[in-house]
């Protein structure tokens, strides 16, 4: 079986003093072996919550994974795993990298010990063998002088190096899936490229599947096989990277694409930015969540959730513009050049 | 590291000198002197000789210079109230008693406080947390002398479990130790709780969870080690508090420690004893500050002093 992860109808809420925040509202996707999937969307759209839910890392309470959600790893239901099973699952089967490398490493623990820790837990290695493996891991993520560096503390590393260490930690036990939650957001641009390249390299080397969570479409262009665009806790458009970039159909996808800076743009206009803010997830959403910011908004958009329209085997979009009786709209000019 | 400690010792001497100077001039500013009651009925010539013997006929600055000179030779002088008893004798005789009480109180206060705080932090908003916080509020509000009286009444008068007062076997230390450390337990429990809560929400705890390590490793290696760092910061004030508390507690339990000696000395304007004990307490406190700073480096690698950055 090629399908390693299957997420069905995933809904996650947070119980706060203000009420129930429906952060993720019915997300479906799958992941194949060795594939890179990108979840793209702006801050607060539920992509990180989705990613954390895959490892059940959201603290419960206040978080709650809703009845009817399903996350199947190799056919086994993650949401039904016992405490021991989920512990064996984390780190060994799925590794995770977080957004801010400056705060994601334990400041009072040596780098080597932090990498060795999961090896000792999952691979039954003794301390010495685990540290040897940690040296190898550091070497693989291109940290110079790894034998010396395992005795360093996180504050002796730069941001880019710390993110490499995070990658080494996440991949130490050779997990089948790597979840990278905005791995490059906190890094400067040159380091971003290096880290992405490293991830790509390790992915093909270890045949790991990657779920990349990001708000930056520029980051995923050369990285992901498929892209899912998320908005207000839902996936609004799914497709292969090619389909999203060249045949994207959702107005929100267009907005995201338009806000990527373009080096070749002839008339250097002001960079496009989408006006408004995402809807408050505390309030019930009857219509399309994007309606209030959509320039093509129609009456129906405010009243009913748009159905999913399949455009190809891999490409689907949830937008009323795809309805047969909807008016035909042109893509924004800035994107048409690409077609 | 050696260079760092040397530098710190130098600062310590400076601090000590400032404390000595301030104390010296302050106690001499208090009206009256320790010999007044004894010398009242002596003939003028004898009285003058008597004052001269202790150097009290000289001006205060002269006395100050004399005191520093003697101090430099390790001589703290002898008690004015009890002629023949040197201050160093008083310290060597009574300090071990106070030290035993103080060390017991600090150890129990810190250890029990930290453990309770950790439990409260992990069981946040459940009954263990509420219980610990209730005890902690009680400990912060209740003065040690009130607690001491309560303990004496319940545990020694009513139940007759421990002796009411005095000093002797280990049994005698139980009530004063509890009375003395209760405040520290309370402070530490509250402090540790918030520190644990702060650490649990850090990103690196999420990283550790994502590794799938056991709960024990998570709590021990990742939470406690980091949560304890800010708790070290409040150790010196706790030590100072226990010094201060011991003055009162030693009086209540009639313990022949240094604290009660110092209180008596102040009442008697026994200059030499006040000075000697002040220097002793001050030195202890300054040393504990240094120890805490070194301890900091042991626990937190980020503040470890490196060889090449100390110049």
A8 beta partners: A70
* Shared-domain flag, residues B201 and B264: yes
At residue A268, the pLDDT reads 62
* Shared-domain flag, residues B61 and B194: no
What's the CA gap between A98 and A108, in Å, rounded? 19
The first and second tokens of residue B126, run together, are 């459940």
What's the CA gap between B42 and A251, in Å, rounded? 107
H-type alpha helices, A55-141: 83-89, 111-123, 127-140
Structural domain contains residue B85: no
At residue A263, the pLDDT reads 65
At residue A267, the pLDDT reads 59
Structural domain contains residue B78: no
- pTM, full prediction: 0.77
* Shared-domain flag, residues B34 and B130: no
Report chain B residues whose CB lies below 8 A from the CB of A182.
none
B41 touches chain A (CB under 8 A): no
Q: Is the pLDDT at B49 greater than 50, yes or no?
A: yes
A316 beta partners: A238, A310
Q: Which of A104, A153, A155 best tests the B interface by mutation, with the highest count of B CBs <10 A?
A: A104
Under the banding of pLDDT at 50, 70 and 90, the label for residue B235 is: confident
* Shared-domain flag, residues B130 and B44: no
Under the banding of pLDDT at 50, 70 and 90, the label for residue B307 is: very low
Report chain A residues whose CB lies below 8 A from the CB of B299.
108
The torsion defined by the Cα of A29, A31, A36 and A42, in degrees rounded to 10, comes to 20
Structural domain contains residue B158: yes
pLDDT tens, position by position, for chain A (339 residues)?
588 888 888 888 888 888 888 888 888 888 888 888 999 888 878 888 888 888 888 887 788 888 888 888 888 888 888 888 888 888 888 889 888 888 888 888 888 888 888 888 888 888 888 888 888 888 888 888 888 888 888 888 888 888 888 888 888 888 888 998 888 887 788 888 888 888 888 888 888 899 999 888 878 888 888 999 988 888 888 888 888 888 888 888 888 888 777 666 565 667 777 777 777 778 777 888 888 888 888 888 888 888 888 888 888 888 888 777 777 777 776 665 543
- Pairing mode, if any, of strands A209-214 and A36-40? parallel
At residue A338, the pLDDT reads 47
* Shared-domain flag, residues B186 and B272: yes
C-alpha dist (Å) from residue B151 to B100, B160, B162, B176: 20, 11, 10, 9
> Domain ends where: B72, B98, B115?
B72
Strand order in the sheet with A234-240: A94-97, A177-181, A209-214, A36-40, A226-231, A234-240, A316-318, A308-310
A97 beta partners: A180
Report chain A residues whose CB lies below 8 A from the CB of B226.
106-108
Structural domain contains residue B208: yes
CA B177, chain centre distance (Å): 13
C-alpha dist (Å) from residue B117 to B109, B110, B113, B196, B201: 12, 10, 6, 8, 16
Q: Is the pLDDT at B70 greater than 90, yes or no?
A: no
Q: What is the average per-residue pLDDT within B286-291?
A: 85
A183 touches chain B (CB under 8 A): no
**For residue B3, how many other CB atoms are within 10 A of its CB?**
11
pLDDT digits (tens, 9 = 90+) for B9-41: 898 889 999 999 998 888 888 877 777 777 777
**Given A95, A153, A166, which is nearest B301 (Cβ)?**
A153
Cα–Cα–Cα angle for A307, A313, A315, rounded to 5 degrees: 55
The first and second tokens of residue B234, run together, are 């409040």
C-alpha dist (Å) from residue A339 to A123, A168, A218, A322: 49, 39, 17, 19
DSSP symbol at A312: S
At residue B202, the pLDDT reads 86
Please answer yes or no on whether A121 and B222 come within 8 Å at the CB atom.
no
State which of A174-178, B43-47, B55-59, B292-296 shows the largest mean pLDDT: A174-178
The B residues from 200 to 229 touching A (CB cutoff 8 Å) are: 202-204, 206-214, 217, 221-222, 225-226, 229
Please answer yes or no on whether A106 and B217 come within 8 Å at the CB atom.
no
* Shared-domain flag, residues B168 and B225: yes
At residue B290, the pLDDT reads 84
What's the CA gap between B300 and B223, in Å, rounded? 13
| Closest listed residue to residue A54, CA positions, set A227, A211, A173, A235 | A211
Q: What is the CATH number of the domain that holds B198?
A: 1.10.3720.10
Please answer yes or no on whether A87 and B301 come within 8 Å at the CB atom.
no
* Shared-domain flag, residues B54 and B94: no
Cα–Cα–Cα angle for A25, A26, A30, rounded to 5 degrees: 135
For residue A144, how many C-alpha atoms fall within 13 Å in the half-sphere facing its CB? 3
Secondary structure class of A226 (helix, strand, coil): strand
Report chain A residues whose CB lies below 8 A from the CB of B300.
107-108
* Shared-domain flag, residues B101 and B68: no
* Shared-domain flag, residues B269 and B155: yes
**Given A86, A89, A118, which is nearest B213 (Cβ)?**
A118
- Buried (b) or exposed (e) across A36-50, using 16+ Cβ within 10 A? bbbbbbbebbbbbbb
Structural domain contains residue B77: no
Q: Is the pLDDT at B111 greater than 60, yes or no?
A: yes
- Pairing mode, if any, of strands A76-77 and A70-73? antiparallel
Question: Exposed/middle/buried for A126, CB within 10 Å: 0-12, 13-18, 19+?
Answer: exposed
At residue B18, the pLDDT reads 93
ipTM of the complex: 0.81
A117 touches chain B (CB under 8 A): yes
Helix axes B171-200, B225-233, angle to 10 degrees: 120
The torsion defined by the Cα of A155, A156, A158 and A164, in degrees rounded to 10, comes to -90
Q: What percent of chain B has pLDDT over 70?
A: 97
Contact A173, A122 (CB under 8 A): yes
B92 touches chain A (CB under 8 A): no
DSSP symbol at A291: G
**Given A92, A107, A109, which is nearest B212 (Cβ)?**
A92
* Shared-domain flag, residues B196 and B62: no
What's the CA gap between B240 and B233, in Å, rounded? 13
State how many domains chain B has. Answer: 2
Q: List phi, psi (to 5°) of B94.
A: -100, -20
At residue B311, the pLDDT reads 36
Q: Is the pLDDT at B309 greater than 60, yes or no?
A: no
Please answer yes or no on whether A108 and B214 come within 8 Å at the CB atom.
no
What's the CA gap between A258 and A273, in Å, rounded? 8
Range of the domain at B246: 90-299
**For residue B194, how many other CB atoms are within 10 A of its CB?**
14
Q: What is the average per-residue pLDDT within B218-230?
A: 87
Structural domain contains residue B79: no
* Shared-domain flag, residues B23 and B64: yes
Contact B109, B185 (CB under 8 A): yes
Structural domain contains residue B83: no
Question: Exposed/middle/buried for A250, CB within 10 Å: 0-12, 13-18, 19+?
Answer: buried
Structural domain contains residue B305: no
Please answer yes or no on whether A91 and B300 come within 8 Å at the CB atom.
no
| Closest listed residue to residue B269, CA positions, set B80, B54, B103, B16 | B80
> Domain ends where: B17, B40, B72?
B72
The first and second tokens of residue A329, run together, are 């709209």
| Closest listed residue to residue B222, CA positions, set B245, B243, B238, B203 | B203
* Shared-domain flag, residues B144 and B17: no
Placement of tokens 């996180």 in the chain: A154
């Amino acid at each position: 079986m090629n399908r390693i992860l299957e997420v069905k109808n995933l809904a996650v809420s947070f119980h706060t003093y203000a009420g129930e925040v429906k952060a993720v509202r019915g997300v479906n996707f799958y992941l194949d072996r060795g594939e890179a999937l990108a979840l793209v969307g702006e801050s607060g759209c539920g992509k990180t919550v989705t990613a954390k839910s895959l490892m059940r890392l959201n603290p419960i309470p206040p978080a709650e994974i809703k009845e009817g959600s399903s996350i199947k790893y190799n056919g086994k239901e993650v949401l039904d795993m016992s405490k021991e099973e989920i512990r064996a699952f984390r780190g060994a089967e799925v590794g995770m990298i977080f957004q801010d490398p400056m705060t994601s490493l334990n400041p009072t623990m040596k780098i080597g010990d932090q990498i060795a820790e999961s090896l000792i837990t999952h691979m039954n290695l003794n301390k010495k063998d685990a540290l040897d493996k940690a040296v190898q891991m550091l070497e693989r993520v291109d940290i110079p002088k790894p034998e010396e560096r395992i005795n360093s503390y996180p504050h002796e590393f730069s941001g880019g190096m710390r993110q490499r260490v995070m990658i080494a930690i996440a991949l130490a036990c050779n997990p089948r899936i790597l979840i990278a939650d905005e791995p490059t957001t906190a890094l400067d641009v040159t380091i971003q490229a290096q880290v992405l390249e490293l991830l790509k390299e390790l992915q093909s080397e270890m045949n790991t599947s990657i779920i990349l969570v990001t708000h930056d479409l520029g980051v995923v262009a050369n990285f992901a096989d498929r892209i899912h665009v998320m908005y207000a806790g839902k996936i609004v458009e799914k497709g292969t990277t090619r389909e999203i970039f060249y045949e994207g159909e959702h107005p929100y996808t267009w907005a995201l694409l338009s806000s990527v800076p373009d080096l070749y743009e002839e008339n250097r206009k002001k960079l496009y930015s989408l006006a408004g803010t995402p809807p408050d997830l505390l309030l019930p959403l009857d219509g399309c969540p994007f309606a209030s910011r959509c320039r093509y908004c129609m009456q129906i958009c405010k009243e009913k959730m748009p159905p999913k329209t399949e455009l190809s085997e891999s490409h689907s979009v949830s937008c009323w513009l795809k309805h047969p009786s909807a008016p035909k709209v042109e893509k924004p000019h800035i994107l048409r050049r690409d077609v | 590291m050696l260079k760092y400690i040397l530098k710190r010792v130098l600062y310590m001497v400076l601090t000590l000198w400032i404390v000595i100077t301030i104390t010296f001039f302050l106690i001499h500013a208090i009206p009256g002197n320790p010999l007044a009651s004894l010398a009242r009925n002596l003939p003028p010539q004898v009285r003058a000789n008597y004052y001269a013997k202790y150097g009290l006929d000289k001006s205060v600055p002269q006395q100050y210079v004399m005191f520093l000179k003697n101090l430099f030779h390790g001589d703290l002088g002898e008690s004015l109230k009890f002629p023949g008893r040197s201050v160093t004798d008083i310290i060597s005789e009574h300090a071990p008693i106070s030290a035993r009480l103080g060390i017991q109180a600090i150890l129990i206060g810190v250890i029990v406080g930290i453990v309770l705080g950790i439990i409260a932090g992990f069981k946040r908003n459940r009954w263990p947390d509420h219980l610990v916080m209730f005890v902690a509020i009680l400990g912060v509000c209740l003065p040690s002398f009130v607690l001491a009286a309560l303990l004496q009444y319940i545990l020694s008068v009513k139940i007759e479990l421990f002796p009411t007062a005095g000093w002797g076997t280990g049994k005698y230390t139980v009530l004063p130790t509890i009375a003395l450390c209760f405040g520290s337990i309370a402070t530490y429990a509250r402090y540790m709780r918030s520190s644990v809560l702060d650490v649990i929400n850090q990103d690196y705890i999420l990283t550790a969870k994502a590794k799938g390590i056991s709960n024990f490793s998570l709590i021990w290696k990742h939470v406690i080690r980091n949560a304890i760092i800010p708790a070290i910061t409040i150790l010196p004030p706790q030590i100072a508090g226990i010094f201060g508390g011991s003055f009162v507690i030693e009086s209540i339990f009639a313990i022949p420690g240094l604290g009660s000696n110092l209180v008596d000395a102040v009442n008697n304007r026994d200059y030499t004893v006040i000075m000697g004990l002040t220097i002793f307490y001050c030195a202890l406190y300054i040393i504990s500050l240094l120890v805490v700073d070194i301890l900091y480096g042991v626990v937190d690698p980020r503040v470890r002093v490196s060889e090449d950055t100390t110049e």
